[in-house]
Amino acid sequence: MEPNTMDLRRVRYFVEAAEDLHFGRAAKRMNIVQSALSQQIRRFEDELAIDLFDRNTHEIRLTEAGHYMLHECRILLEQADKTTRIAKEAIAGTRGRIGMAFVDNAICTLLPPLIRDYTRRYPDVELCLQTMNRSEQITALLDRRIDIGLLPGPVQIENMESKVFVSSPLVAVFPRGHVLASRPSIRLEDLTGEAFVLFPTSIQSRLLEIIIATCADAGFAPYVAQEAHHLHTVLALVGAGVGVTLVPPWVARARAMDIAFVPVENPTPTYDLVFVRRHDSTNIALKRLWTAATAKQCARTCGA
């Protein structure tokens, strides 16, 4: 008989009877009549063309083949039970895989608590994390290469659902020792004539767009002394004295460089990070992550 035609019910009957070596007790434990158990085991032997039991009027014993079959059937049942359990966990969303992308500034204090809490609660869900800029995430979501993205908003794309995770105006960043670094706050006009470290326009950064617009509202265009593709590089260059910049305040909580963060007095456009997923996603684990992200959202203005 081909393995894929094996009746698991009969396998279970055989294992119960083989472990007890008493059809009556095994039948009672399985809540069936002894004749039904005996019949199913006989059919199992017929399908296998193997005698599994040596029967006589006094006792039943496993044949040599029966001993081997008992070992293999136990493994088969364990695997079947494991497969059923995994399937149920996947349906419940407690097991699975989530492809998640985020812009690099999100890893600065925002994402770690969410990821830590989620993985502690759902250790059997694999989170596949990667950094992508805004346009890369949108393309990856459309192509189904990721399940969820955390990217600058707003995002209004057909068949996509978005939710604001954090929203805040920007703060200024100076190298320590800069004349403005020790102030409790500044006005944007104070940055007129300062050298800036910014992202290149080629990466279509939403943060860059807001910085340019913010400076324009203050009556000047920033002089760009240096460009960098990644936030940690921008901050490192500021710390090296190359220039100043503007960042969302959650970046200021990761105080690891020789830089100072100073609040801006002027009302400025907010920089939003939003979670985005496809409407038609059937990933139950993703739905649980979405709920967890909603519970942790800080869509109100985030102080530095």
> How is the chain split into domains, by residue range?
3-92, 97-167+272-301, 170-269
Q: How far apart are CA 24 and CA 38, in angstroms?
A: 9
Along the chain (304 residues), what's the average pLDDT of each consecutive run of 10 residues? 65 86 83 86 87 81 88 87 72 78 85 89 90 92 94 89 91 94 95 95 91 94 94 91 93 76 90 92 86 69 45
Amino acid 26: pLDDT: 82
- The CATH H-level (homologous superfamily) assignment of domain 170-269 is Periplasmic binding protein-like II (3.40.190.10)
Whether 97-167+272-301 shares its CATH topology with 170-269 is answered: yes
Amino acid at 58: H
Amino acid 300: pLDDT: 46
Q: How far is CA 200 from CA 43, 212, 225, 231, 286, in A?
A: 74, 12, 11, 12, 33
Amino acid 152: pLDDT: 93
Length of the chain as a residue count = 304
Q: How far apart are CA 194 and CA 295, in angstroms?
A: 40
**Does 3-92 carry CATH code 3.40.50.620?**
no
Q: Give Cβ neighbours of residue 54 (< 8 Å, ≥ 6 apart).
A: 60, 61, 62, 63, 66
Amino acid 94: pLDDT: 67
Q: Which residues pair with 174 in a beta bridge?
A: 260
> CATH number of the domain at 97-167+272-301, please?
3.40.190.10
Q: How far apart are CA 8 and CA 235, in angstroms?
A: 62
